[in-house]
Amino acid sequence: MSVAPLQLFETWYAEARKHPAILDASAMALATADKNARPSVRMVLLKHYDERGFVFFTHLTSPKAHDLEENAYAALCFHWPALARQVRIEGTVSRVTDKEADDYFATRPRLSQLGAWASRQSKPMAHRYALEASVAWASAQYGAGAVPRPPHWSGFRVAPERMEFWREGAFRHHERSLYTRGDDGWTQDYLFP
């Protein structure tokens, strides 16, 4: 990835992380589509980014994971109203390596690790306490020892092909800068708001 869009993202993301009115700068909307092109969108958390792309983690049995297995293209949107900024990213999606998933899983709080074993993400629950019962089961399984990453839990990387940076302007004179990746690197265009 050319450094231009990534450096701009790094700058904006760092400012969003420091801003007192932004509760979680890593929150991003993830849009996917299934094999029939039915769209779906939900919020996920950015856990890592570099020149290869933007990474989030999830259950591999979740609807988003099914969508990405059927249609390996996604869109992300960061919206930071307190800074009057937005970043949109579109690109191809691939699974992270097992080592990357293991390394990140090891950094999660223990209850989050147990929750990954306990949750049957997006499946119906018999009652509202079913998750707590399942967490208790997982806790008993691992006692005080290390909790390994479940085989049904991993991450995805969105490799950007398009990155759009939007900054609010007075009287809707917004600034929009679009970076598009081609064979020769990134090109930049300004867009009408």
Active centre residues (catalytic)? 172
For residue 172, give every residue at least 6 positions away whose Cβ sits within 8 Å of its Cβ, in sequence order, or none: 193
Q: Which tokens sit at 51?
A: 């020149």
Q: What share of the chain is helix, strand, coil (3-state, %, to 5)?
A: 30, 40, 30
Q: How far is it, in rounded angstroms, from Cα 65 to Cα 9?
A: 25
User: Can you tell me whether residue 176 is helix, strand or coil?
Assistant: strand
Which amino acid belongs to residue 86? Answer: Q
User: Can you tell me whether residue 193 is helix, strand or coil?
Assistant: coil
Closest of 186, 155, 125 to residue 44, by C-alpha: 155
Decide if 55 contacts 63 (C-beta within 8 A).
no
Residues shown for the chain = 193
